[in-house]
Structure 1
Amino acid sequence: MGRSRPAPAPAEAPSPADSAPQEGGGRVVQAAGRFRELVAGRPWRRRRRAILTTAAATVLVLLAAVAAAIFLPALQVQQVGVSGLGYVEEDEVLAAVEPHRGDSVLLLPTSDIAADVAAVPGVREAEVERSWPDGVRVSVTEATPVGMLTRTDGSTAVVDAQGQQLPEAAAEGAELVPMTVDAGAADPEGAAVAMSEVLASMPEDLRGSVRSVTASSASDVRFSLALEDGGTRTVVWGDAADSELKAEVVQALLAEPGTEIDVSSPVAPVTR
């Protein structure tokens, strides 16, 4: 005889709480219990809300602290220190910084202040640093005077390597080469700048022998060179380009006869 199969377990009848008779003979299943877990708040959602609330509160506290520090009198600029000055007047540098006195050290525009100080005549560049809690330090590098320029109208000025006019005090103790713009020069400003650039780019040993410089344009710079025997030689330099090569050629041709050396084209120099 074969084994008899076990009878299937009877289906669990829905409890009265989960079903109810429906008109027409059917039943409606009550799903409230099944979805109660889905709609209930999860613990991680509550934690996220707490984290966001704490973060927002922290940001507000930090913003309030920064705002309070900005307006704190103890952090407002009161002290200004200046270093690196020689012939430039300290009062002129302080005047450039004065508009920022009383500003918060936290928000101090150091680059803007440095630009304002660099615009003072005689200042080549400037560095500005905060000095906590209520100060600022300004370090100045002055422009180096290279010549005494005589303009076509007869006025004179101490100038730097870029042809910029410097305070008269810059001439004190400096060895300045006389620079003259030729009368009737078509470009007197260009001539003045070119003479300054030529002097600044010239090797120091050659510049020490220059007695005077003249020009009628930016490409027509000439100077008088003192010789060891007491004589002089005129050098036609041209523009400020190739200064190192031109200086080497001049030194090589000083022993050649003549009164003029033309190195405006250094690869094809001429002696006269």
Structure 2
Amino acid sequence: MAGSTTAERGERQQESSGPPPVRRLRVRRLRTIIILAVALALLSAGAVWLLYGSQWLRVERVSVSGTLVLTPEQVREAADVPVGSPLISVDTDAIEARLRQKLARIDSVDVARSWPHGIGLKVTERTPVLLVQKGGNFVEVDDEGVRFATVPVAPKGVPALQLALGRPDTRAASLRRFGESRLVREAVRVAGDIPIDVARATRSVKVRSYDDISLELRGGRTVAWGSGENGAAKARTLTALMKAAPDARHFDVSVPTAPASAGS
């Protein structure tokens, strides 16, 4: 039998030196995928161990900032942060809820992880705008009408709230129509609109009814404010009126377009 020709031998040589078969390519790809999958699994397992199982990323300290009346220790105690636990597993929402529940003086709090070992508590306290005397103590009321704390000494510069609703029959009618909480909110609204210079001199905000709120200032001066409506206009009018009549004792801005002053 005659041997293969030179041309046939050349074709076979070219085939043997050409690209690998499809099957070999698939095997190589599968091997690469398996190696990558194993590497990814090992990395994931290592990350989970680092975050949850190792001693490197655990809570060691709790920092507190923003306190004015509260002490950092009071905040830490109320927060009850699980020191020693993995930092990643700390429930920041639960810490915030505990602080709000236990410390009514806290208006808002930001709980943040501080890698690698800390929890930060940034506190914003409520600020009193009015005081309600209760026995020998004073209840602080914030700008939302929330009564959040009772203190034995009145904070300086915070006016007292007086609910002077008149005769028992008048008082009952006013409370039935508006409710005490609504009247307190109106007083808070007025306190927030008082010009800064006047606020410093305000000793009390007196509420006789929804539309009869007045201010008692140092030196026996008074301001008839009316309702809590049109507060910005009343504030501007009062500032101008006090400049025009610096010796007056009584001011009326209940109708800001028709103000009045009297006494000297």
Equivalences, count: 226
Mapped pair 1:52 → 2:33: yes
Provide the C-alpha distance between the structure 2 equivalents of 1:177 and 1:49, rounded to a whole number of angstroms: 78
2:234 and 2:253 in contact (8 A); partners too: no
Partner of 1:30: none
**Correspondence for 2:184 among 184, 192, 204:** 192
- The percent of aligned pairs where both chains have the same amino acid is 23
Q: Which runs of 5+ in 1 are unaligned?
A: 1-39
Runs of at least 4 residues of structure 1 off by over 6 A? none
In the TM superposition, what is the alpha-carbon distance from 1:104 to its structure 2 partner? Answer: 2.0
Partner of 1:246: 234
Mapped pair 1:159 → 2:141: yes
Mapped pair 1:61 → 2:42: yes
Q: Deviation digits for residues 77-113 of structure 1, max 9, x if unmatched?
A: 2321222322114344223321544432124343553
Query: Residues 121 and 174 (structure 1 numbering): CA distance in 2 closer, same or farther, change over 3 Å?
Result: farther
In the TM superposition, what is the alpha-carbon distance from 1:158 to its structure 2 partner? Answer: 1.7
Query: Residues 175 and 115 (structure 1 numbering): CA distance in 2 closer, same or farther, change over 3 Å?
Result: same
Mapped pair 1:208 → 2:200: yes
Provide the C-alpha distance between the structure 2 equivalents of 1:155 and 1:218, rounded to a whole number of angstroms: 26
Q: Which residue identity is paired with 1:199?
A: A
Mapped pair 1:181 → 2:163: yes
Q: Which residue identity is paired with 2:187?
A: M
Q: TM-score, normalised by structure 1?
A: 0.68
- Where 2:120 maps in the other structure, the secondary structure is strand
**Correspondence for 1:140 among 120, 123, 130:** 123
Provide the C-alpha distance between the structure 2 equivalents of 1:200 and 1:261, rounded to a whole number of angstroms: 18
In the TM superposition, what is the alpha-carbon distance from 1:259 to its structure 2 partner? Answer: 3.7
Query: Residues 170 and 125 (structure 1 numbering): CA distance in 2 closer, same or farther, change over 3 Å?
Result: farther
1:190 and 1:217 in contact (8 A); partners too: no
Provide the C-alpha distance between the structure 2 equivalents of 1:194 and 1:261, rounded to a whole number of angstroms: 18
In the TM superposition, what is the alpha-carbon distance from 1:192 to its structure 2 partner? Answer: 1.8
Q: Which runs of 5+ in 2 are unaligned?
A: 1-20, 166-170
Provide the C-alpha distance between the structure 1 equivalents of 2:213 and 2:40, rounded to a whole number of angstroms: 65
**Correspondence for 2:58 among 62, 76, 94:** 76
**Correspondence for 2:92 among 101, 107, 110:** 110
In the TM superposition, what is the alpha-carbon distance from 1:219 to its structure 2 partner? Answer: 5.3
2:138 and 2:150 in contact (8 A); partners too: no
Partner of 2:104: 121
**Structure with higher helix content:** 2
In the TM superposition, what is the alpha-carbon distance from 1:72 to its structure 2 partner? Answer: 2.5
In the TM superposition, what is the alpha-carbon distance from 1:122 to its structure 2 partner? Answer: 1.6
Partner of 1:85: 67
- Where 1:248 maps in the other structure, the secondary structure is helix
The structure with the largest alpha-carbon Rg is 1
In the TM superposition, what is the alpha-carbon distance from 1:177 to its structure 2 partner? Answer: 0.7
1:163 and 1:196 in contact (8 A); partners too: yes
Query: Residues 191 and 101 (structure 1 numbering): CA distance in 2 closer, same or farther, change over 3 Å?
Result: farther
Provide the C-alpha distance between the structure 2 equivalents of 1:61 and 1:218, rounded to a whole number of angstroms: 70
